[in-house]
Amino acid sequence: MIVLDTNQLVQAKPPNGPFLSMLKVVAKHAGLELALPEIVLEEHLARFTHDLETLHHNAQKALRVYRAKLPWPNSDEVPPLDSAAAEASYAESLRATFRILPTPEWAAMQSLIREARRRPPASREWSEKGEGARDVAIWLTAIDAARSSDDPVYFVSMDKKAFGANSLFPELQQDLRDYLGDGATSFHYCCGIESLLKEFAQQHDRVPTRNAIGAAEPVRQALRRVLTGSEAFFQLISGLGLTGRGYVASRVGEQTLNLLAVHKIIGYQVDGKLWAAATVDWRISERVTASFIDREGMPSKDFNVAFKLVTTLLIELDEDGRITEAECVPSGHIREIEAGVAS
């Protein structure tokens, strides 16, 4: 089992970040589950909702300033935010990837006691108010999962102040002996996702170049599979305002795919296979036909459409670093849609 702390869940960039894609490859190869302590899930969802509500508030504020500057009336509004629905949808995507580990009942009191007594992984600083009960709960949840599993547990965190830099603090090593006995040797602490990946894989530098990614047919096929899906098309026609009653929209011809940028590409060799993962920005152009059913028939117009899509690519390479297979997952919705009536 691979258990992520809150900071490493952020690093993984769920639901479709490059590091998370590589973690899935490693977990599948090792026969291990990806897991989150319940407190990590709650903390991550709380931050997600807070950030979303802050962005929504800032958008409303910016729109008010914009309207005040205009020399004519404007009634545009920021769409309402259903933060509960957004959080529920995001939580569902996390639960589809991670097993959620419930906080054991006995850990709650221990978390408060350790915070009060300044015992790690809670803060040991007596000159300040006690803090770190959440860290204790996360730690004890990971230990509890190890107690109930025959598989090794890899606990991944970059909170060096709470758990240690390259190895666990002696007090936490004693926890493992006390709670796990002989099973303590099956509990592993990894300071960061990259440290975990080194346990199962070797980093390699035969990652494809930007041009190689943009030209590779497996990549372009993977992207087209995303674009021809019903979800992507619905996002596109929604952005064009063609989802009202009476509208019928369809594609004309193939899309033109232009690679804009490649971010944070990583490469690892797992069980003899070379893998790479990256975040890739695309600009896609295509033609859409829109028809509106009315009493006069079904008049139609063609639109030339362009939009941006950010994706995560998981790429399999041959021994020479050539791309042989690719999986493409959107990292968000279609955006920056531009459209004009085709001549």
CATH number at residue 153: 3.40.50.1010
The reported pLDDT for the residue numbered 247 is: 67
The domain in which residue 35 lies consists of: 2-200
The reported pLDDT for the residue numbered 343 is: 64
The reported pLDDT for the residue numbered 230 is: 80
Q: Are residues 159 and 268 in the same domain?
A: no
Q: Are residues 193 and 232 in the same domain?
A: no
Domain total of the chain = 2
Q: Are residues 325 and 229 in the same domain?
A: yes
Q: Are residues 190 and 210 in the same domain?
A: no
**Domain end among 151, 182, 200:** 200
Query: Peptide bond preceding 71: is omega within 30 degrees of 0, i.e. cis?
Result: no
The reported pLDDT for the residue numbered 296 is: 61
Q: Are residues 162 and 32 in the same domain?
A: yes
**Domain end among 184, 200, 216:** 200
Q: Are residues 37 and 24 in the same domain?
A: yes
The tokens for 323 are 């791309």
SS3 308: strand
The reported pLDDT for the residue numbered 201 is: 94
The reported pLDDT for the residue numbered 25 is: 94
Give the Cα separation of 167 and 157 in Å (integer).
11
The reported pLDDT for the residue numbered 218 is: 96
- Sequence-distant contacts of 146-151: CB under 8 A, at least 24 apart: 146/1, 146/179, 146/180, 146/183, 146/186, 146/187, 147/179, 147/180, 147/183, 149/1, 151/1, 151/31, 151/32, 151/33, 151/186
Return the C-alpha torsion angle 231, 232, 233, 239, nearest 10.
110
The reported pLDDT for the residue numbered 243 is: 64
Tens digit of pLDDT at every position of the chain (343 positions) = 999 999 999 999 998 899 999 999 999 999 999 999 999 999 999 999 999 999 999 999 998 998 888 888 887 888 999 999 999 999 999 999 999 999 999 999 999 999 999 999 999 999 888 999 999 999 999 999 999 999 999 999 999 999 999 899 999 999 999 999 999 999 999 999 999 999 999 999 889 999 999 999 999 999 999 988 888 878 887 777 766 656 677 777 778 999 999 998 999 999 889 999 999 999 999 888 877 766 565 567 788 889 999 999 999 999 889 999 999 998 888 888 888 877 6
